[in-house]
Amino acid sequence: MLEFDQSICGNLREATGREWLETNGLGGYASATISGMHTRRYHGLLVAATKPPVGRVVMLAKLEETLVINGERFELSVNQYPGVIHPQGYQYLRSFRLAPFPVFTYEVAGVVVEKSVFMPHGENTVVVQYHQRKKARGVKECRLEIHPLVAFRDYHGTAHENSALSPHVAARLGQATIQPYAELPPLHIAHNAEALSITGYWYRNFEYQAERERGLDYHEDLFNPFKLAFDFSRSSEATVIASTQPHRAEEAESLCAAELARRSAVANALPKQSEFVRTLLTAADQFIVARGEQKTIIAGYHWFSDWGRDTMIALPGLTLTTKRYDVAKSILLAFAQYLDQGMLPNRFPDAGEAPEYNTVDATLWYIEAVRALVAATGDYEFVREQLYDKLVDIIAWHERGTRYQIRVDADGLLFAGEPGVQLTWMDAKVGEWVVTPRIGKPVEIQALWYNALCVMQELAVKFGDAARAEQFGALAARARNSFQQAFWNDEADCLYDVVNGETRDSAIRPNQILAVSLPYTMLDEDRARRMVAVVERALLTPVGLRSLSPNDPSYVGKYQGGVQSRDGAYHQGTVWAWLMGPFIKAYLRVHGRTPVTRRQTKVWLSQFGEHLRVAGLNQISEIFDGEAPHEPRGCIAQAWSIAEILRVAVEEKCA
């Protein structure tokens, strides 16, 4: 259980710098800061996935809460408006904890109220409960008033006062339904309030500081359709259930019990694990969501959908390490449906349009995910029946050439790229500016290509496909020989980042670590050890690997400013947490698994234990500044960050 006392909760800067996250297994979520103040347009109490896992809509933005004690009003909410914080309810917030849901404890004029928030799995539903835990003798009247504020807009946007919104409320005993816009689903709010009164007010000019810092629209208006009043003099409980489907307030307890049992099973999936690993197991669960009848992985909260590359990198840690083998198979089958010209989609757009295929590595990571599955389960029959023909077709497409000049060159290495397109994981693009184009033969693509060929050779042998086993083996041998000749930078004691004809990019980047961390490697022991030493010296930080050496003239140490500034720094020095997984694997591979090396890896992973208490609570951020103190940036919860730290912690027994 993660808990903060009044020293954090009563400090607005500290409280707004920590964000909680609830998810529903559909791609929807609830999230805000522990102070209650929204700092992002992505914050909301019910962000529903209307086309799971995408089509996300901020339906219920927040609840404005007021305690009326002996006629005196105390507002518990916190909002930022132009030039003012109002109300300042954080002053009454005595504690916040995750147990496992977010629980807020307020103390006001002798009254203690506990508020909890959770989302039932598999529904676009949020349950908010209030319990009066203490009431002083002198308190004769105590009432809780709640004003729901709704947005009903795409989660990438902001809402503004308009005449198109329908204020109509269909109210009956314990139920209220609103549908501000006909094209969006209705919102059903179940409650046990004594009274509901129609209001129809706009709350104007909320400001979201994080969006201001990101150079994006940061003002919003929210609509209040009605007010709920709960009499705490007669009852000590108040319940609000907001959902895209009808509920009754009395269902809250059974929904809570079911969700507590489900999450307990998730956290205890691996017996005899440390609290750190148990926390990561719970965090991992938040990324696994539905896509139709199958499963997929949300790349990051708050703003990513499911991406091919991220999904395949995260799959082993989120599903195999956690022994959720059926989920792993479901994800592989879901993405197999979208294979096209030997390529996996890069991403699925938020509105559910056709997938985008601008990636060279997602498909190669897919083959590595298949290898990891059979290594964990031994279920070769599943691969033979469901995937093998598709994997063979992937190799064939890469041999003859597919989109964006992705093709096997005469030397057996994989060429990829054309102007204006970003194909590797270093994919930042601002307008027509591709920040790191990496056209030619990127080092990690060659490592993944060789690894894929070796995996395919192994599968062909297993399935008695002798001709293809020989074919894949020959392709792998040719790639290995060419790689050793073309990629070793003797002057720097490491690998070139990209080779394109006679041009060799000597920038020291973390991509080369995959040439050692993947199961099949093209480097001999001596070169592997020297290269890992260079990466450790130039790129390693307490929270991952820098994307570029600080000694490079293009290095940017801070990820900040508007869109162009941030995207320009994204892969030019910014630290990526997910790379700590491959680095530790490579480090142990070249130095051996000894008591000394295991102690070192424990030290590295311990830094993330501290990080779980800041930014996204009990989660690991997407990125960090390249410069100390390595402030967390980007998404507050990133799938491959959690997946790789969890995987290496469990596999290497170093946490």
Tell me the whole-structure pTM to 2 decimals.
0.96
Mean pLDDT of all residues in 74-80: 98
**pLDDT score, position 109:** 94
Domain 2-262 of CATH type 1.10.1060: no
pLDDT in tens, 368-394: 999 999 999 999 999 999 999 999 999
| Res 415 pLDDT > 90 | yes
DSSP class of 577: G
Bridge partners (DSSP) listed for residue 144: 67, 230
Helices (DSSP H) in 167-295: which residue ranges?
A: 209-213, 252-267, 275-285
Model pLDDT, residue 448: 98
pLDDT tens figures, 238-295: 999 999 999 999 999 999 999 999 999 999 999 989 999 999 999 999 999 999 999 9
Q: What would the DSSP string read from start to end of 90-141? A: GGGEEEEEESSSEEEEEEETTEEEEEEEE--TTSSEEEEEEEEEEE-TT---
Tokens at 542, concatenated: 């307490």
Residue 479 burial (CB count, 10 A): 24
What is residue 479's DSSP assignment?
Answer: H
Q: Are strands 615-616 and 18-23 parallel, antiparallel or unpaired?
A: parallel
3-state secondary structure 524-557: CHHHHHHHHHHHHHHHEECCEEECCCCCCCCCCC
Q: Where are the domains of the chain?
A: 2-262
> Is 352's pLDDT higher than 80?
no
User: pLDDT class for 351, splitting at 50, 70, 90?
Assistant: low
Band of pLDDT at residue 655, cut at 50, 70 and 90 = confident
SS3 state of residue 239: strand
* pLDDT recorded at residue 419: 95
Rounded percentage of the chain residues whose pLDDT exceeds 90: 96
Element spanning 402, H or E: none
Is residue 139 over pLDDT 70? Answer: yes
Q: CB-based burial of residue 390 (10 Å sphere; 0-12 exposed, 13-18 middle, 19+ buried)?
A: middle
pLDDT higher than threshold 90 for residue 348: no
| DSSP-assigned beta bridge partners for residue 575 | 546, 624
- E strand intervals along 527-654: 540-541, 544-546, 575-576, 615-616, 623-624, 632-633, 637-638
292 φψ region: left (φ > 0), alpha (ψ -120 to 50), beta (else): left
Confidence (pLDDT) at 349: 73
